[in-house]
Every structure is written in C-alpha cells, then in structure tokens.
Structure 1
Amino acid sequence: MTFDPVLPPLVLAFAAVALITLRLLSLRPAGRTGRHAVLRWALTTAAMLLVLLAAARPVTGSAADTAPAQASQTGANVYFLVDRSADSAITDFGGASRMSGIRDDIEAVMDAHPSARFAVISFAARPAIDWPLSADAWSLVPVVEALNPYPGVDSTEANAGAAANVLRYQLISAGQQFPQADNLVYYLGSGAGQSTVPQGIFDTPAVDGGAVFGYGPGPGENTLRSIAGQLGLPYIQRTPGEALPRADGTSNQAGSADPVAGQERTELYWVLMILASLLLLPEIYLTARDLRQARATRTEVLP
C-alpha cells in the first residue's frame, strides 16, 4: 500500500495533531456527562480521523513489492487546458461538436498515461480549475464526459491564453511537491478566432512534453501555433477519426517517469469516507433530536 496525499504530508500531520489535541480537550467535559456522551465523542473522533486518513489517499495495487516506494512521486503530471468557449460548440468536427473531439482526445491521453496524475484547467473568458492535480483517473472520467462549452459566454470574449497564470502556478506547485515528475501539458482548443479581446501569453516554467491540439478550421490556428511556440510544444491539427499521435516528447512515460505502468491501482479513500459517513449518522440524528428538544423547551418557557 502506498499513499498519494491531496495535501503535503506536513500539512496533514499538523492537521492530525491539531485534531487529536482538540478532541482530547473535549473528552473531559464529555466524560462528566455520562457514557452516552463519551460514545458520541468516540464516534465523531473516529469519523474525523477517517477523513484525515482518506486525505492521505491510500492506494493498493496488484504489483506487490516490485514498485519503488517513490512511485507516487515520479508519475507524470498531466495538465489539460480545455477550451470551453462557444467555439467548442461548433459542429464541424466530423458532424459532431469540437468539444466531442476534445473529450475523446482527453480520454485517449489518459489511457496513454495510466499511472499519471491529471489536472483539468478550463477556460473561455476566464480560467477555472475543474479538476485539481490527482491520480484518481477513475473519478475524473465522468468529469471529462460532462465537459461542455460554458453557457452564455460570447465567442468574442474568449481568451485563448486565459489559463496561462493558473497553469504557471500549478507547475510551480507541482515542482515543489513532485520534483522528480515530468510535467506534460495538453492544450485543446480552437484559438478564439472570433475574439475581440487581448489574448493572454503563456510565460510558464518549461514543460517536459505534451502538445497543442487544434479543432476545426478558422482564423484561430495562428493563435494556437503561437501558443504552441510559447509552451515549446508541437502544434497538431486534429482530424475526426484520426488516432492520437504521440506528441509528449518522451518515451510514453514507460521509463523512470512512470515506473508503475501496468500496475492495477485501487483507490481506498472512498471506503474510508463511507465509513466516516456511517459513524457520523448517529451524531447527526442525536444533534437534530437535541435541537428539537431545545426548541420545544424554549417554546414552553416563552410566555
């Protein structure tokens, strides 16, 4: 079993110490009330500890003892920059929308990097992090399938470089948290060919691979090529039905950047969260009952 925490280990350790300290301080008042109060204290404390353990992201797999202990630190970080402007809704991509091609290509890249961490940064006029960097590809799949153009955003307001600053800070953070990991960037968009606003510039730390994928014909191609140059990545015009080319500039992460390729990973955090929820059910019921009783008592006391 390995761990892939959602926060730096020191932050989780500090949170655990603070939680245990606070819960121990509340134990004495609970003990004075009676056994039932102590039981409620114990259930709530256990639920909180399970949530902290879930945040540590325990992961188990079928490859026992052969994967290096630092595997979770060396898998590639893959960033998807997804154009969700109105241009992505245009249905000129083999009779389907450009967004359908974007979704298919994201899933193909995910399949090509089975042991990577993934992040999704969407943009139109402004950026948004739809999925923070995580190795939980299983949960990311339905998020990708639900990606659609933003409603109510005019194509003249689109900014093809809107995600530049967010990507910059994400890469800096990943470099501190995963110093041995490759950073791959995949930009998927139309280039904001109808936009009338200034376009952002990608001034980011160097990346190790990826590509800029263009969808549909139009004046946005020059913008996409410019973005590819800023990121130091190849530009690839996508064609419906065409297989995804290998454009990450690496050996498909089969070497040191992906030492656990082929391993069956099983996320366990959801089991811990279910257990925590079950432990909290009695506390929720008892708290609701106490509130009803307090409200009834207050009603009787008031004239």
Structure 2
Amino acid sequence: MSFYPVLPPILLAIVAAVAVVARIASLRQLLSARRRTRTQVWRWAGVTAAVVLLLIAAARPVFGDDLQTTPAGAADGQPNVFLVVDRSPEMGVGDLPDGRTRMDAAREDIAAVVDRYPDARFAVIAFASGPSLEWPLSQDTWSLRSVLAAMEPYGDADVALTNVAAAGNVLRYQLIGARQQFPRANNLVFYVGSGASASEAPQRRFDVAEGSVDGGAVLGYGTTRGAPLPGRPAVRSTLDEPRLRAVAEQLGVPFVQRDGTGDTAAMFGDAGEPPQESGVTASARPTETYWAPAMLAAALLLLELSLTLRDLQRSRTRAVVT
C-alpha cells in the first residue's frame, strides 16, 4: 500500500494534529459533565471516527503496484501536469469566433493537453476570487475527462473580486509535494484564463519555488474588443494580455493567445515531448481507495447532523410548551 496525500505531508500532519487536539478537548468536556448519557459518548465516538476516516481519505491510500513499469521507475518519469483554470464569470463571455465563449475554447485546449500526456498525472486547480483544488494529482485521466467536459464558469462569483493569482498558494504547495513524491518527473503548468480585466481587486503574484516548474504555458482567451458579461450588460470584459504575460513571467513559461481555432502545437512549445513508452508488458494500475473512508465519514457526519437537527427541534418544542 502506498499513500499519495492531497496536501503536502507536513501540512496534512498539522491538520491531523489539530483535529486530534480538538477531539481530545471535546472528550474532556464530555467526561467532566455531571450528566452524560451513553448516547452522547457514542456520538462523540462517531464524529471522531469520521474525522479519522477523512484524514485517511486525505492521505489517499493506494493498493497494488503500477505494472506499467517494466523498467524500474518508468511511471515516475511521466510528468505532473497542473491545470490552473479561471472559472470566473469572464470566462463565460462569448467574444470568440462563431460566438463561442472563452470557456468553450479553454475546454478544447485542456482536452488537447490531456490527449498529449495520456499517462501523466494531472491536477486541476480552479479559481475566481479564491482557489479550489478540484482534482488532486492522479493518473485517472478517464474520470478526469468527464470532469473537465462539464467545467463551466462560476455563476455567482463577484467579477470585481477575481484575482489572476488566486491559485498561487495552492499551486506552490502542490508543486512542492509533487517534486517530493516524484523527483524524476517534470512539473508542467498550464494556466488558462482571460486576465480578469473587469476585476477591481489588487492582483497578487505567483511565488513558486525556484526550479519547481519545468514547462507549460499561460493560455489567454478573449479579444481586445471584448464583450459584455452574460446577464450583466453594463460590465464589459476584454483580454488583459499584460496581466497574463506577467503571470507567464512569474511561472517561467510562455504566453500563448488562444481563440479555439488555431493549431494546438503552440501550446506545447515550452513543455517538450511527452515521455516515450518503453517496453510495457502489463497494463494494471494501482487501485484508489480514498472513496471508501470518505463515504463512511460522510455517512457518520450525516447521522450526526440528523441527530443534531432532532435535538434542536425538540428544544424548540419544549420552549414553545413552556
């Protein structure tokens, strides 16, 4: 069994330590109560078990060996590809040829990246005003494709708060963790966005560790003429090329303007050729098991939530009666 945590090991250890301290404090409070019931003790145990299960799921236990490694460590040489995707409302603007939206073109280019590196490990970090790790680093590209195909801009995000570097901290720690787990693999970063021209927020910078990015590109979508945001005709969004070029400089990768109609070869000028297959004699892959403890934890937490709502309803009923 191997572990591929969704967070850097040190950060996950800190989260685990905080969770343990919180549960011990809760237990001491329960034991010091004058009146406690067996049900309260069982509920404490259930929530504690859910926390432990969530920590196990975050550690991503994997069973089995990757048999696509006839030469020792061949799979470790496959790149780690990080897709940093702008999901702000500006990506829903339809200013590309044939009235296509920026997200339409972005989805096609992202699919081209997955096609180019079919055996790579992929991670997806989405952002608008803040980041979201929507797909932890994994070789499960079959499931990833359906997630990417359904990706749309956030409908309720405040366009004035969009930050081009909102994913900076998450990307930094994901790159560090990937380098520690797969030291022989290149880290490729493909940033997909329009530059947040309608944002009024101060823009942050990407601060990645030196040498942690080995290639990739910043892909820019939109036109200098722009178009109004869907449902907000008073707000016009344009391609902010200077901001995107600044992001490219911070990441150490080239900027490539895209409209969904050109050849995708320009996207990979700095990423190099994908590793060649070498003498694979079997195709079995490790079995991801994080979903099992995650589902058990969800069931325990739902049970605790239902009991809490029941207690709240009873307390309200007593208050009305008295």
TM range (shorter): 0.5 to 0.7
Task: State the secondary structure of the residue aligned to 1:118.
Answer: strand
After superposition, give the CA deviation of every residue in 1:62-88 in whole Å (9 maximum; x if it has no partner). Answer: 63696989x899962514243746475
Q: Does 1:146 align with 2:151?
A: yes
Partner of 2:234: none
Q: 1:172 to 1:29 in 2, by over 3 A?
A: same
Q: CA deviation at 1:96?
A: 2.1
Q: CA deviation at 1:186?
A: 1.6
Alignment RMSD (CA, Å): 4.9
Equivalent pairs, count? 288
Q: Does 1:51 align with 2:73?
A: no
2:294 alignment partner, one of 270, 273, 297: 273
Distance 1:29 1:270 in 2: 36
C-alpha contact 1:99 1:148 (8 A) present in aligned 2: yes
Distance 1:40 1:201 in 2: 45
Aligned-pair identity in percent equals 32
Alignment of 1:184-195 (within 5 A): 184-190=188-194
What is the one-letter code of the residue matched to 1:5? P
C-alpha contact 1:131 1:140 (8 A) present in aligned 2: no
Partner of 2:228: none
Q: 1:73 to 1:132 in 2, by over 3 A?
A: farther
Q: CA deviation at 1:151?
A: 7.1
* Larger mean Cα displacement after TM superposition, 44-53 or 73-82: 73-82
Q: 1:211 to 1:21 in 2, by over 3 A?
A: same
Distance 2:82 2:276 in 1: 15
Task: State the secondary structure of the residue aligned to 2:125.
Answer: strand
Return 5+ residue gaps in structure 1 as ranges.
256-261
2:121 alignment partner, one of 116, 120, 123: 116
Task: State the secondary structure of the residue aligned to 2:5.
Answer: coil
What is the one-letter code of the residue matched to 1:78? F
TM-score (norm 1): 0.66
Task: State the secondary structure of the residue aligned to 1:135.
Answer: strand
Partner of 1:259: none
Partner of 2:13: 10
Q: 1:254 to 1:86 in 2, by over 3 A?
A: same
Q: 1:234 to 1:282 in 2, by over 3 A?
A: closer
Q: 1:24 to 1:75 in 2, by over 3 A?
A: farther
